[in-house]
Structure 1
Amino acid sequence: MTSVKEIHVDREPHDGELGRGRFYFTDDYSVFDWGRMPDQIPEKGAALCTMGAANFELLDVNHVPTHYRGVYEAGDDPAETEPRDLGECRTPPRTMAIDLARVPDLPRDGEAYDYEAYHAAAGDGYVVPLEIVFRNTVPEGSSLRRRRSPSEFGLDVEEWPDETVDLPDPIVEFSTKYEEQDRYLSWAEADAVAGQADLDRLEELALSVNAVVTMRAEQTGFTHEDGKIEVVYDDGTLKVADVVGTFDENRFSYGGQELSKEVVRQYYRRTDPDWVDAVSAAKAEAREQGVADWRGLCEESPDPLPAAVVETVSDVYTAGTNGYTDFDWFDAPSLDDVVTAVQAL
């Protein structure tokens, strides 16, 4: 199980063939890599599944390969029925059918991870152990502000302004996926981690996904700021995996207001800074000690969200999904009302 999804295996991958499985999207959430937080966000799982399915089907129309096979509506029995297209659903689904690839163990010796061992066990069908990040803007809170200067992207300023900055062209970065603490990689480092997957093709795939999601966002009044994809290598074919273009994986804004998981991140930065600082300190200490379990070094735990905040964040997911898909899946406020509520947090 991931922090927010349960993974059910129907057929294990074998003999170079992908397997079959399902994601079940829960109402759990995670920020700052903490894992499952103290609360749940009502309807979040259904919103993520619905928005993710909509994007996978958009990618299919645009000839972008993915591991998506459809969704199951509540009451569908995966053992008895085939997955359906999102447009066949009468209610928002929580279960998504997918192709499954191998995820071998990633051995670690101190601070070093053994990617040669990972790929030796992976064969010709595996999850590429990278997250491929694409950025159209540099909003408040983006890690890019800490790592790189504006001049690297053709911007005529010495320091990042406080407001969101539009990039002249989308950029792609690579970070680790299965290490205890994600880290951004140089091109050469990412090439070594990717195995048989060609880095130029990974970049091209990420830019294709970005173009499709950005176009859909513009059509529905959103601004698509950044996001990421995960990828399956299937005997030479690269397929977009996990889930894509949701308010967890990507940053969107509406009317100048962030409407994504970033709302929760910024809320914790404002209201629970002791925990946020303790997380950063624990990660730094773990790096210094060369240990994987940074959470065991963290001296603070996150406070639960107030009920009013939980309700507003739920509205971000449900109203946002309604708006992005241009269909009223959820009984949710208007996006303008959600923006007002978020600004009042």
Structure 2
Amino acid sequence: MTSVKEFRVAEPATSSSLGRGAFVFTDDYSVFDWGPMPDEIPGKGTALCAMGAANFELLEAADVPTHYRGVVVDGEPVPLAEVEEPPREMAIGLTQVPDLPHEGRTYDYDAFHAAAGDNYLVPLEVVFRNTVPVGSSLRTRGRPADYGLDADEWPDEPVDLPEPVVEFSTKFEESDRYLSRAEADRIAGAADIAALDALAREVNDLITERAARTGLVHEDGKIECCYVNGDLLVADVVGTFDENRFSYDGQQLSKEVLRQYHKREQPEWVAAVADAKERAKREDVADWRTLCETAPAPLPDAVLTTVGDMYAAGAETYLDQSLFDAPSLPEAVAAVRDL
């Protein structure tokens, strides 16, 4: 099970071929890499499933290969257009995910690839950025001039990038970290790093164009990929309000709303998470959560309802399809602004 979706296996992958399985999208959420938080966001799982399916179908229509097989209705995968109720389960092709041995924070990628063969989930997240919002980690890892901006300091508002930026971070390490291109190339194994970069840019362009047609701004996101006998397939889920950041009329429309709420309302817990991550680095501890002595508190019901409406209204707008009992997007955004 991943942090916010369950994982089902119908037929395991082999060293040379994909298996069959499914994601079941729950209403759980996770921020700051904590894992499932104390609450559920009503309707979040079905909103993410529908939005992810729509994006996979968008990619397939543009001849971008993916592991998507359809949303599940009565046990069978079907196109999103055929559903009458919000879907919660997505059928996918399965690749191999070998164990990644480690000692402390030192990970043995040679062992991972020895077990992976030519059919594996690339142990990277490929991140693309169109803007640099306030709070983006990019601000701590570079100066504006490094990304083509004519400024000495980062401003106190979001910044549009002249060209999208693609970065690589680890996928299976307990504390994800950004990588140099050379280190990402080594970790990717047989998968070509330039091809991963190009694929991420193509996905980014398609999602950005789709968002713009519906009045949304696509700020950033990521892809994960399968490497199967020399080919790359877009995997996991793409273009949802959890994997990507969108905005509408200047208001964040993504999981970032929850991150900022916790920073504002539970600063002690957020600080404890940051301290635990830093301590884990100093002490060479892989799982920083074992060092965090503070747990997050549940959210008020009104906040859960408001965020649930945001997910549903945003998904309906992006899909241009009425699947949810959601308020209009302007109404949902106005409520989010009042949080």
TM-score in terms of structure 1 length: 0.97
Shift of 1:15: 4.0
What CA distance in whole angstroms lies between the structure 1 residues aligned with 2:12 and 2:200?
27
What CA distance in whole angstroms lies between the structure 1 residues aligned with 2:7 and 2:182?
32
2:314 to 311, 320, 344: 320
Shift of 1:110: 2.7
SS of residue matched to 1:238: strand
Number of the residue aligned with 1:57: 57
Q: CA 1:120/1:257 → structure 2, altered by over 3 Å: closer, same or farther?
A: same
SS of residue matched to 1:276: helix
Number of the residue aligned with 2:154: 160
Number of the residue aligned with 1:32: 32
Uncovered stretches (5+) of structure 1, i.e. residues with no partner: none
SS of residue matched to 2:263: helix
**Aligned length in residues:** 339
Number of the residue aligned with 1:17: 17
SS of residue matched to 1:133: strand
What CA distance in whole angstroms lies between the structure 2 residues aligned with 1:105 and 1:309?
38
Number of the residue aligned with 1:124: 118
Amino acid across the alignment from 1:22: A
Number of the residue aligned with 2:93: 99
SS of residue matched to 1:320: helix
* 1:243-301 deviations in Å (ceiling 9; x for gaps): 00000000000011001000000000000000000000001101111111211111211
What CA distance in whole angstroms lies between the structure 1 residues aligned with 2:287 and 2:201?
34
Query: Does the 8 Å contact 2:131/2:158 carry over to 1?
Result: yes
* 1:145-165 deviations in Å (ceiling 9; x for gaps): 111110001111111111110
* 1:54-113 deviations in Å (ceiling 9; x for gaps): 00000001111100000113xx12xxxx31000010111000000000000001123210
What CA distance in whole angstroms lies between the structure 2 residues aligned with 1:59 and 1:293?
35
Amino acid across the alignment from 2:5: K
What CA distance in whole angstroms lies between the structure 1 residues aligned with 2:320 and 2:309?
16
Number of the residue aligned with 1:137: 131
TM-score in terms of structure 2 length: 0.99
1:35-46 paired onto structure 2 within 5 Å: 35-46=35-46
What CA distance in whole angstroms lies between the structure 1 residues aligned with 2:112 and 2:15?
17
Query: Does the 8 Å contact 2:167/2:178 carry over to 1?
Result: yes
Query: Does the 8 Å contact 2:168/2:178 carry over to 1?
Result: yes
Uncovered stretches (5+) of structure 2, i.e. residues with no partner: none
Amino acid across the alignment from 2:62: N
Amino acid across the alignment from 2:199: L
1:1-345 paired onto structure 2 within 5 Å: 1-73=1-73, 76-77=74-75, 82-345=76-339
What CA distance in whole angstroms lies between the structure 2 residues aligned with 1:158 and 1:43?
43
What CA distance in whole angstroms lies between the structure 2 residues aligned with 1:245 and 1:321?
11
* 1:200-243 deviations in Å (ceiling 9; x for gaps): 00000000100010000000000000000000001011000000
SS of residue matched to 1:333: coil
What CA distance in whole angstroms lies between the structure 2 residues aligned with 1:206 and 1:50?
21
Percent identity reads 64
What CA distance in whole angstroms lies between the structure 1 residues aligned with 2:5 and 2:61?
26
